[in-house]
Amino acid sequence: MREYEYIQLQAYMYLTSMPMATLIQHFAGTFEETSVPFNEGFWKIISHEASRFAQALRRLVENEEMQKQLLLNAVFPGWSWQSES
């Protein structure tokens, strides 16, 4: 199972309050089913990182100078997408 598939399944299970999901893959004549339990610890990590990304994106959207610098491929002194605010 690819990492993005695992993350996607965890998100679906969280949003639907399901304790288990089944990934069904059918490709080039092969069929595979994989049962995946909800992993609360992993979900906490993923949701925390998604929140940090959303905060960084919000800061970028609200700051025209950062947008200009990004378009010019410049470095942002003292700023990191990982900064807490």
Residues 26-47 pLDDT 10s: 989 899 999 999 999 999 999 9
As a whole-number percent, the residues of the chain with pLDDT over 70 amount to 85
State mean pLDDT over 2-10: 93
- Give backbone dihedrals phi and psi of 46, rounded to 5 degrees, phi first: -65, -45
Which is nearest to 59 in space by CA: 32, 31, 29, 81? Answer: 81
Q: How far apart are CA 49 and CA 11, in angstroms?
A: 13
Q: How far apart are CA 52 and CA 36, in angstroms?
A: 26
The yes-or-no verdict on residue 62 having pLDDT over 60 is: yes
Q: What is the pTM of this model?
A: 0.66
Please, what is the average pLDDT of the chain?
86
Instruction: Using pLDDT thresholds of 50, 70 and 90, give the confidence band for residue 84.
Output: low
Helices (H) and strands (E) in the chain, counts: 3, 2
